[in-house]
């Protein structure tokens, strides 16, 4: 029961954070939670589904733009627009899936990359989405300025914890079994009746929906969105770094990876050219020294401790 | 139940299954014999949909399933135990069977649990239900192949050399198990090298050589056939 209590205390502390943190801290915490959610979503597809996508930044951007366009054109509150942004990205993912899934392995990755590029170009050229100049948040009036930071934080917390809970529940469900079996041995899985396309389609749609919601949350407090920021490749770099460092295919990975990522970012204050080099070097080092990432190393540490405790 | 006509498969210039036809009715067990490389496992690949056919048709209860992918064939009732076991390393034995019963037959709840328990009990894996695929020894991996196939609710059961590594006593138990499975709703095809076991369980035996059917008849006739003795039993004696 103790891990359960610990978890409950941590969640309560996270929920109450806005009452004890200043604006800067709250902003940083929201940023971290968005990255946790994005990493959890990407990990669902890559770590559990076995599909490596280098194009998820495209869905971050679509989620962000969905928030801005929906609240401009429809009478929906920005907070309500966040789940709607998830639905928009889910539908887009569902429509693209038949094309992307015809491409296997490395071609799927190329397909995802191309899709993200196309999203960016279309949004940049289209008047409806504000073109290259971007869009202001038309519904900013309906937001309470005083609670703005706290609300954005709570939304980020909800999306991060929601994504984590979803992955946790999925992996314990019959659907999770199908996913694991497919990843282990596709022919053996199909030979007991697992339909690979349906399972992959479902994780793909879920993954991009979560990504879109996290994207919408991230751009809410910015009050402005541009194609350059929305479809920034740095989203992808951050997601991959955090997931690999944290431990691919592990539910605690995104939390541990995000923690290390932000510690590095905040303390080392890289100049931008050295930033990517440092991230890349850290990722390679972690892959070499700790194949399971931080989560894997932590597991080994805990199990060694418990075997030492049981063997006096 | 299962009707196979003029099935063909080549890998490049090597013809591995060369015009095989047969039918297996519900309640029947067809034994399949043949020297190594005769094309037995490939024949099962074709029946299960793991490999596309080059020619011929496969019908299940009159329905043409020749072009269907493996997962749909399992759902239609063609289940298979692989010669080289394919356990999922991270799934427990029970999870394997839950998956086979839910994905293969669409079972849920109590019906699913019942089917899983029955497959565990029949194959003697009950005390290993919590082990992961990675932890199983070869013998248990073979049992798990059979258990998975049973848990998917088969109408046609394809068993590929599942007796490998068994002791004489265990082979007898396996024969009893297969006899016990016989029912009007199930057709069994069993590939095996142990002639007396195959004889004891089968209603007919099909002898395959170089992808062709040499003979298909009742066990006594097949094992007495001079071609079979030369090709297969003779070879077995030398080995
Ligand atoms: N995927 C494949 N590609 C090329 N040759 C194959 C393939 N699968 C089987 N074969 C060949 O087909 C022949 C029959 O193999 P198989 O069906 O496994 O025989 P059996 O099960 O009767 O021992 C062998 O010569 C084998 O090398
Ligand atoms: Mg074989």
* Pocket lining: B158 vs ligand 1, CB cutoff 6 Å: no
Q: Do the strands B156-160 and B55-60 form a parallel or antiparallel pair, or are they unpaired? A: unpaired
CA-nearest residue for atom 4, ligand 1, is B11
Whether residues A181 and B99 touch (CB distance < 8 A) is answered with yes
Domains of chain B as residue ranges with CATH: 1-77+154-239 (3.40.50.300), 89-153 (no CATH)
Distance B44 CA to ligand 2 centre (A): 9
Residue with the bigger pLDDT between B238 and B62: it is B62
Q: What is the pLDDT of residues A161-180, one digit of tens each?
A: 999 999 999 998 999 999 99
Cα–Cα distances (Å) from A57 to A120, A155, A306, in that order, read: 10, 20, 40
**Res. B168 pLDDT band, cuts 50 70 90:** confident
Size of interface A-B (CB pairs under 8 A): 71
Q: What is the pLDDT of residues B103-121, one digit of tens each?
A: 998 889 899 999 999 999 9
Tell which wins on pLDDT, B149 or A270. B149
Comparison of pLDDT for A68 and A264, the residue scoring more: A68
Nearest alpha carbon, ligand 1 atom 6: B11
Tell me which residue in A177, A191, A195 faces B98 most closely, judged by beta carbons: A177
- Whose structure tokens read 């020749």? B66
Mean per-residue pLDDT for B148-167? 91
Quote the pLDDT of residue A264.
Answer: 83
pLDDT in tens, A271-289: 666 777 777 788 888 888 8
Q: How far is CA B31 from CA A204, A235, B27, B192, B205, in A?
A: 44, 59, 13, 7, 4
| Residue A186 near chain B (CB below 8 Å) | no
Residues B198-208 have a mean pLDDT of 92
Cβ proximity of B156 and B60 under 8 Å: yes
Query: Any idea where the domains of chain A sit in the sequence?
Result: 22-231, 233-312
Atom 16 in ligand 1: residue holding the nearest Cα: B39
B chain contacts of residue A174, beta-carbon cutoff 8 Å: 98-99, 102
Q: At what angle do helices A78-102 and A106-125 cross, to 10 degrees?
A: 130
Atom of ligand 1 nearest to the CA of B11: 4
Q: Does B37 sit in the ligand 1 pocket, CB within 6 Å?
A: yes
Q: Describe the strand order of the beta sheet including B78-81 as a list of residue ranges.
A: B78-81, B156-160, B187-191, B29-33, B204-209, B212-217
Q: Cα separation of A156 and A33, whole Å? A: 6
| pLDDT score at B158 | 96
| For residues B204-223, average pLDDT | 90
Question: In the prediction, which pLDDT does B233 show?
Answer: 56
| Amino acid A311: pLDDT | 45
Residue A174 to chain B, least CA–CA distance (Å): 7
Q: Is there an atom of ligand 1 within 6 Å of B119 CB?
A: no
User: Got the DSSP string for A40-78?
Assistant: HHHHIIIIIT----S-HHHHHHHHHHHHHHHHHHSS--H
pLDDT reported for residue A21: 83
Distance B160 CA to ligand 2 centre (A): 7
Selected residue with higher pLDDT from B186 and A142 = B186
- Locate the ligand 1 atom nearest the alpha carbon of residue B208 and give its number: 22
Would you place residue A22 in the very low, low, confident or very high pLDDT band (cuts 50, 70, 90)?
Answer: confident
ipTM exceeding the 0.90 mark = no
Nearest neighbour of B100 by CB, restricted to A184, A185, A193: A193
Tokens read off for B100: 């086979």
Strand duo B204-209 + B29-33: pairing: parallel
Q: Summarize pLDDT for A81-135 with one digit per residue, the tens.
A: 999 999 999 999 999 998 888 876 678 889 999 999 999 999 999 999 999 999 9
Ligand nearest to the CA of B51: 1
Q: Quick: pLDDT tens for A102-117.
A: 876 678 889 999 999 9
pLDDT confidence bin for A58, thresholds 50/70/90: very high
The partner residue sitting opposite A194, judged by closest CB among B48, B79, B103, is B103
The per-residue pLDDT for B239 is: 41
- Mean pLDDT computed over A212-225: 94
* CA-CA-CA-CA torsion sign (A169, A174, A175, A180): positive
- pLDDT over 70 (residue A307): no
Which residues does B contribute to its contact with A (CB < 8 Å)?
Answer: 48, 50, 69-72, 74-75, 79-80, 82, 86-91, 95-96, 98-100, 102-105, 133, 148-149, 151-152
> What are the phi and psi torsion angles at A21 (to 5°)?
-115, 150
Of A181, A188, A190, the CB nearest to B69: A190
Closest CA relative to residue A56, chosen from A34, A73, A78, A72: A34
**pTM of the predicted model as reported, rounded to 2 decimal places:** 0.85
**Residue of chain A nearest B75, judged by CA positions:** A193
pLDDT-based confidence at A305, cuts 50/70/90?
A: low
Radius of gyration over every alpha carbon of chain B, rounded to an integer in angstroms: 17
- Chosen for mutation from A50, A187, A192 (greatest number of chain B CBs closer than 10 Å) is A192
Structure-model confidence comparison of residues A152 and A140, the more confident one: A152
Across the interface, do A184 and B89 touch by the CB < 8 Å criterion?
Answer: yes
* Whole-number pLDDT of residue B238: 44
Contact at 8 Å (CB) between A71 and A225? no
> Choosing among A193, A194, A195, A197, which should be mutated to test the B contact, i.e. which has the most B CBs within 10 A?
A193
Arithmetic mean of pLDDT, B100-105: 93
Taking only the tens place, the pLDDT of each residue in A235-259 is 999 999 999 999 888 899 999 999 9
Contact B103 A195 (CB under 8 A): yes
Whether residue B12 has its Cβ less than 6 Å from ligand 1: no
Residue in chain A closest to B85 (alpha carbons) equals A188
- What mean pLDDT is reported for chain A? 89
* Subunit contact B99:A174, Cβ cutoff 8 A: yes
């Amino acid at each position: 029961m103790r891990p359960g209590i610990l978890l409950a205390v941590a969640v309560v502390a996270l929920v109450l954070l806005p009452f004890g943190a200043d604006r800067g801290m709250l902003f940083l915490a929201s940023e971290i939670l968005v990255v946790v959610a994005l990493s959890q979503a990407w990990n669902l597809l890559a770590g559990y589904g076995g599909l490596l996508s280098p194009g998820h930044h495209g869905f971050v951007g679509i989620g962000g733009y969905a928030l801005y366009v929906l609240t401009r054109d429809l009478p929906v509150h920005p907070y309500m627009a966040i789940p709607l942004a998830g639905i928009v990205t889910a539908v887009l993912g569902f429509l693209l899936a038949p094309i992307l899934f015809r491409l296997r392995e490395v071609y799927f990755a190329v397909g995802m990359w191309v899709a993200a590029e196309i999203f960016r170009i279309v949004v940049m050229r289209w008047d409806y989405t504000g073109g290259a100049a971007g869009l202001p948040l038309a519904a900013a009036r309906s937001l309470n300025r005083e609670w703005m930071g706290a609300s954005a934080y709570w939304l980020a917390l909800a999306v991060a914890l929601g994504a984590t809970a979803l992955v946790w529940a999925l992996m314990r469900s019959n659907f999770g079994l199908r996913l694991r079996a497919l990843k282990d041995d596709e022919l053996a899985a199909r030979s007991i009746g697992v339909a690979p396309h349906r399972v992959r389609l479902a994780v793909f749609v879920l993954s991009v929906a979560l990504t879109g919601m996290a994207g919408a949350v991230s751009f809410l407090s910015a009050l402005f969105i541009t194609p350059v920021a929305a479809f920034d490749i740095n989203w992808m770099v951050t997601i991959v770094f955090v997931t690999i460092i944290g431990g691919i295919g592990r539910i605690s990975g995104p939390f541990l990876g995000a923690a290390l990522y932000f510690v590095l970012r905040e303390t080392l204050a890289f100049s931008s050219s050295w930033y990517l080099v440092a991230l890349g070097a850290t990722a390679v080092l972690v892959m070499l020294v700790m194949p399971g990432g931080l989560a894997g190393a932590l597991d080994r540490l805990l199990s060694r401790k418990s075997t030492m405790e049981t063997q006096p | 139940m299962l009707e196979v006509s003029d099935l063909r498969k080549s890998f490049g210039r090597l013809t591995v299954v060369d015009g095989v036809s047969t039918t297996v009715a519900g309640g029947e067990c067809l034994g399949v014999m043949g020297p190594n490389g005769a094309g037995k496992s490939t024949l099962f690949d074709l029946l299960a949909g793991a490999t596309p056919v080059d020619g011929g048709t496969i019908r299940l209860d009159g329905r043409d399933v020749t072009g269907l992918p493996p997962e749909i064939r399992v759902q239609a009732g063609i289940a298979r135990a692989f010669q080289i076991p394919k356990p999922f390393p991270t799934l427990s034995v029970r999870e394997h069977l839950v998956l086979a019963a839910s994905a293969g037959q669409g079972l849920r709840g109590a019906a699913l649990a019942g089917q899983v328990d029955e497959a565990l009990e029949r194959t003697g894996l009950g005390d290993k239900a919590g082990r992961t695929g990675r932890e199983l020894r070869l013998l248990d991996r073979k049992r798990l192949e059979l258990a998975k196939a049973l848990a998917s609710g088969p109408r046609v059961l394809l068993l590929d050399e599942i007796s490998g590594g068994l002791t004489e006593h265990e082979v007898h138990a396996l024969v009893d198990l297969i006899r016990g499975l016989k029912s009007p709703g199930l057709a069994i095809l069993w590939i095996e090298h142990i002639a007396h076991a195959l004889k004891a369980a089968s209603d007919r035996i099909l002898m395959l050589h170089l992808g062709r059917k040499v003979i298909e008849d009742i066990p006594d006739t097949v094992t007495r056939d001079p071609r079979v003795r030369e090709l297969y039993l003779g070879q077995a004696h030398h080995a």
